[in-house]
Amino acid sequence: MEDHILIRYGELSLKKSNRKQFTQRIQNHIKRALKVFSKLSFESRGMRFYIMLNDEDSKPIIDILQKIPGIYSFSVVSRCASNMDDIYFLAKKLVLNELKDDKNKTFKIETNRGDKSFPYTSIEITKMVGSYLFKNIEGLKADVHHPNFTLYLDVRHEGSFLFTKTFIGMGGFPAGSLGKTLLMISGGIDSVVAGYLTIKKGMSVDAIHFAAPPYTSPLAVQKVIDLLETITPYTEYQDINLYVVPFTEIQKSIYEYTQSDYCITIMRRMMYRISEQIAKRIGALALVNGENVGQVASQTLESIQTIEQVTSMPVIRPLAIFDKQDIVNIAMRIKTYDISILPYEDCCTVFVPKHPQIKPNLNYTIVEENKIDYKRMIEKAIADTERIVLRVNKHYDYLLNNQDKNKKQEIEELF
Amino acid sequence: MIYLDWTATSKPLKEVVEVYNKMNEEYWYNPSSMYKNAAIVKSLIDRASQSIFATLGLHDKSIYYTSGATEANNMAIQGFVMPYKNQNKHIITTEIEHASVYNVFEFLEKEGFRVTYLKCENGMIDLDELEKALTKDTILVSIMWVNNIIGSINPMKKIIDLVKAKSHAKIHSDLVQGICKIQPDFDFNDLDLMTITFHKIEGLKGIGALIINKNLQLNPLFYGGHQQNQLRPGTNDASLIVASAKAIRINFAKTIIHYQYVQKLYHYLVEKLAKFSFIDINKKGDYDLLDGYYSPYVLSISFKNIKAETAMHFLEENDILVGIGSACNEKTKMVDRSVYALTKSETKAYHMIRISLGYHNTIQELDYFIEKLQELGNK
């Protein structure tokens, strides 16, 4: 009886000149994400897009559609023959389903009559269906101004289409439509949320992570992988590239040769330098991170200014002015929170000095960082950077993948 | 030795034992420790879990390893319903469940839950009775897939559809005698909680698993460390877990081949035994020749004048091993609930032996068994 899913696009409806490109992009994304459901067929009509279910179960499809940027909302539409008896039957079923959780919900009916040869006008249909429902559902309440739900009826020649539920989509722009970025990800709560929001807004995301083995555990890298795998389903091509930069040598020399309260400032400058170079290599147009003004010493406006001075690239900080609780709420919703709070040290936490500078002086920072041969070390770190491709539904195990060939073979044989 | 008690347990596969040994030689570190050696062990456990999910086609589920199916059943049922204690909630099971489900429901009844035990007069539940039993207060329905004594197969797809359409209840199923043996008519993903074990499918003893929906909250049976999401604390035995993933992967892929072979053995056996006047086959007539209602792996017969234990020992002396009742019940000396539910005869339920087949058995073995059974009948 469920017939199709009706999809409404988001804010891109405003962008007239690019509309065609944008809708095409979402449609391709939808088709790619629903590839495994072989019975589906698709139809585009103006600013609406239809997925014909052809007997596929709608439930797993709903979950996937809620992870596609650029979709404003969608509804699962049921179909019946265009006669009053069938319409009554289906309307009652849908309304009862709505009342399953809360009997006191109010409703209204909106009818559209596409088939002008149908013997009743849309107003008459609304009245008839309404009075049938009142007669057959005890305690049903209407509210035409502020209903809890609306029963939509579209009576056409080929059949009548009914729905009550509208699912809210992600909103934002079609994934990847606004260009590529490089996300600096640590493993904490913020950076992955920043990545999610960036994808939602319509940018594609590659990620960069700084690892300092043996001071940081391979589990810290695994944690970053697990976080990114959580947001991979939102991406246009259902994958994310992760660059893991070996940062131990740089970090150790910073701590050995520079003044301890400037360590964090200098470390962040090194990270930005490396990120910018990698961003340029992969064609990313901006850096993204989870910085939040005032959250820690390196995120005061003074620190941000001193640190950002090393790059000419735009830096997007989606969370710059969020309250922590709002970030946590998003993290919980996208299910990254529980992973983020795992207790592994990352390179931002492992070497923290007791009293980091909250107002680092730029000139002094430069004097301090010139004590180390960072250009050579950065070159080496970039040369040794490892690229990992993360894909939807294919978990990447960092430790197992980093075993030598014989060990890998031995492990394969266990399974 | 002719082993006809595969439902009690199975001999572990050589490959499975090899994996277990290899794990114990190389990857024996505590998976919760933070150093690399331990982290690899944790990765191997994760990989084993993914392998089990992939084998069974599961997504969005969590797996908790237990000491066996008994613990998994307890954890599922007690763990799910206990938060609803003293709220006059209703739970449903069947009268033919394994003791590790049935006795939990009896316990919960004493704790104040309202319990419906569905009748199984044909071996399987009656869908109309289930539909009538469901109420808005029903929170859990636990129905086994394949019965361990009489081998009846419940119509899981219809059960799942009915429960989901008519209630908000969660569905648990004890899959122990079905998995790797019967081709399911339903999607495992549609169960909210499911119990599996490995020693019945040529894995090792001492391990079972409860698989549940990712977002489902359960109360723990034990309190302790943070392992397994604090739901089942205690150091994980990675060796058992990885060996189990191997066992289920190998045998799940052979479900159909093994089924077709064992089905031939079963038909052969049933046909011969039907001619013996001194026994009854514990199946309902209407379903005798219909496949899909009874598992070919399990056959329960009752003697008219011979005690089950006498029969078992006579066969044992002739190098044939069969079961009497559920091995888990052997000390209780009670009549078998499943046979009683089906036959409504205490004598039959008491004088019952269970012949359970495996794909290792042969027609020759069955011929020998039939010959010895005939001897016993002639005595």
Closest by Cα among B54, B55, B29, B364 to B180: B55
Q: What is the pLDDT of residue A393?
A: 83
Distances (CA, A) of B136 to B84, B171, B206, B216: 14, 14, 38, 19
Closest by Cα among A89, A59, A72, A63 to A162: A89
Q: Quickly count: other Cβ atoms within 10 Å of residue B271's Cβ.
A: 10
Options 3.30.70.260, 3.10.450.50, 3.30.2130.30, 3.40.50.2000; CATH for A2-168 is 3.30.2130.30
CB B238 within 8 Å of CB B27: yes
**pLDDT(A338) > 60:** yes
**pLDDT tens digits, A205-260:** 999 999 998 888 888 999 999 999 999 999 999 999 999 999 999 999 999 999 99
Candidates B22, B39, B46; nearest CB to A414: B22
Chain B residue numbers with beta carbons less than 8 Å from the beta carbon of A222 are 39, 43
**In a shared domain, residues B228 and B288:** no
| Residue whose structure tokens are 């049938």 | A132
**pLDDT(A197) > 90:** yes
CATH number of B281's domain: 3.90.1150.10
Q: What is the pLDDT of residue A190?
A: 96
Closest by Cα among A63, A338, A327, A326 to A226: A338
Torsion of CA A170, A173, A177, A183, to 10 degrees: -60
**pLDDT(B330) > 60:** no
**pLDDT tens digits, A177-192:** 999 999 999 999 999 9
Which of B228, B252, B276 is the C-terminal boundary of a domain?
B252
Which of B252, B286, B301 is the C-terminal boundary of a domain?
B252
CATH architecture assigned to A180-409: 3-Layer(aba) Sandwich (3.40)
CB B117 within 8 Å of CB B95: yes
Closest by Cα among B231, B375, B210 to B306: B375
Task: Output DSSP code: residue B334.
Answer: P
The total of structural domains in chain B comes to: 2
Q: Is A395 on the interface with B (CB under 8 A)?
A: yes
**In a shared domain, residues B151 and B181:** yes
Q: What is the pLDDT of residue B241?
A: 98
Residues of chain A with CATH 3.30.2130.30: 2-168
Both structure tokens of B125: 């539940």
Most B CBs within 10 Å: which of A391, A414, A415, as the mutation test of the B interface?
A414
Q: What is the pLDDT of residue A198?
A: 98
Closest by Cα among B345, B321, B320, B322 to B335: B345
ipTM: 0.82
Task: Output DSSP code: residue A66.
Answer: T
Most A CBs within 10 Å: which of B18, B24, B25, B46, as the mutation test of the A interface?
B46
- B328 given a catalytic annotation: yes
**pLDDT(B333) > 70:** no
Q: Is B13 on the interface with A (CB under 8 A)?
A: no
Question: Comparing A41-55, A368-382, B359-373, which segment has the lowest mean pLDDT?
Answer: A41-55
Query: B40: nearest CA in chain A?
Result: A399
Q: What is the pLDDT of residue A349?
A: 65
Which of B252, B272, B288 is the C-terminal boundary of a domain?
B252
Which residue would you say has higher pLDDT here, A221 or A15? A221
Q: Is B22 on the interface with A (CB under 8 A)?
A: yes
A346 to chain B, closest Cα gap in Å? 14
Amino acid at residue number B276: F
Closest by Cα among B176, B207, B177 to B64: B207
Stretch B124-138: mean pLDDT: 95
> How far is Cα B182 from Cα B252, in angstroms, rounded to an integer?
9
Closest by Cα among B195, B176, B241, B258 to B7: B176
Stretch B121-148: mean pLDDT: 95
**In a shared domain, residues B202 and B281:** no
Distances (CA, A) of A65 to A53, B214, B241: 13, 20, 35
Q: What strands lie across the sheet with B279-281, from one edge to the other?
A: B279-281, B298-303, B352-356
For chain A, give the number of residues. Answer: 415
Q: Is A213 on the interface with B (CB under 8 A)?
A: no
Q: What is the pLDDT of residue A11?
A: 62
What is the Cα Rg of chain A in Å? 27
**pLDDT tens digits, B179-237:** 999 999 999 999 999 999 999 999 999 999 999 999 899 999 999 988 998 899 999 99
- Is B206 buried (19+), middle (13-18) or exposed (0-12) by CB count in 10 A? middle
Question: Quick check: helix, strand or coil at residue B196?
Answer: strand
Query: B24: nearest CA in chain A?
Result: A414
Both structure tokens of B321: 């091993």
**pLDDT(B327) > 60:** no
Roughly what angle, to the nearest 10 degrees, separates helices B363-378 and B255-273?
30
CB-based contact B19 A219, cutoff 8 Å: no
Please report how many Cα atoms fall inside a 13 Å half-sphere around the Cα of residue B46, on the Cβ side: 18
Stretch B25-46: mean pLDDT: 93
**In a shared domain, residues B230 and B336:** no
**In a shared domain, residues B119 and B248:** yes
Stretch B107-115: mean pLDDT: 96
Q: What is the pLDDT of residue A13?
A: 54
**pLDDT tens digits, A263-299:** 999 999 999 999 999 999 999 999 999 999 988 878 8
CB B168 within 8 Å of CB A97: no
Stretch A325-332: mean pLDDT: 97
**pLDDT(B15) > 60:** yes
Question: Comparing A143-157, A162-176, A351-365, B75-89, which segment has the lowest mean pLDDT?
Answer: A351-365
Q: Is B235 on the interface with A (CB under 8 A)?
A: no
What is the Cα Rg of chain B in Å? 21
From the candidates B216, B328, B335, B370, give the one annotated as an active-site residue: B328
Stretch A197-203: mean pLDDT: 96
CB-based contact B242 A414, cutoff 8 Å: yes
CB A328 within 8 Å of CB A298: no
**In a shared domain, residues B291 and B326:** yes
Helix (H), strand (E), coil (C) string for B292-318 = CCECCCEEEEEECCCCHHHHHHHHHHC
Element (H, E) at B157: helix B156-166
Chain B residue numbers with beta carbons less than 8 Å from the beta carbon of A219 are 34, 39, 42
Confidence tier at A347 by pLDDT (50, 70, 90)? low
**In a shared domain, residues B310 and B341:** yes
Candidates B34, B44, B47; nearest CB to A217: B34
| Residue whose structure tokens are 């014909």 | A52
Q: Quickly count: other Cβ atoms within 10 Å of residue B25's Cβ.
A: 9
Confidence tier at B308 by pLDDT (50, 70, 90)? confident
> How far is Cα B231 from Cα B82, in angstroms, rounded to an integer?
14
**In a shared domain, residues B210 and B269:** no
Chain B residue numbers with beta carbons less than 8 Å from the beta carbon of A61 are none
> How far is Cα A5 from Cα A41, in angstroms, rounded to an integer?
11
**pLDDT(A201) > 90:** yes
Range of the domain at B166: 14-252
Q: What are residue A389's DSSP bridge partners?
A: A241
Average pLDDT of the residues of chain B? 93
Strand B138-142 to strand B170-174: parallel, antiparallel, or no bridges (unpaired)? parallel
Question: Quick check: helix, strand or coil at residue A347?
Answer: coil
Q: What is the pLDDT of residue B349?
A: 84
Stretch A301-319: mean pLDDT: 95
Q: What is the pLDDT of residue B34?
A: 84
**In a shared domain, residues B169 and B315:** no
**In a shared domain, residues B353 and B244:** no
Chain B residue numbers with beta carbons less than 8 Å from the beta carbon of A403 are 40
Q: What is the pLDDT of residue A348?
A: 61
**In a shared domain, residues B97 and B71:** yes
In chain A, the percentage of residues whose pLDDT exceeds 70 is 97
**In a shared domain, residues B215 and B316:** no
CB-based contact B40 A400, cutoff 8 Å: yes
Which residue would you say has higher pLDDT here, A193 or A348? A193
Distances (CA, A) of B234 to B75, B200, B221, B222, B225: 15, 24, 12, 9, 6
Both structure tokens of B144: 């086994």
CB B152 within 8 Å of CB B296: no
Query: A402: nearest CA in chain B?
Result: B40
Q: What is the pLDDT of residue B285?
A: 61
Closest by Cα among A288, A291, A293, A286 to A312: A286
Confidence tier at B332 by pLDDT (50, 70, 90)? low
CATH number of B190's domain: 3.40.640.10
Task: Output DSSP code: residue B13.
Answer: P
Q: What is the DSSP string of B91-113?
A: EEEETT--HHHHHHHHHHHHTT-
Q: Is B321 on the interface with A (CB under 8 A)?
A: no
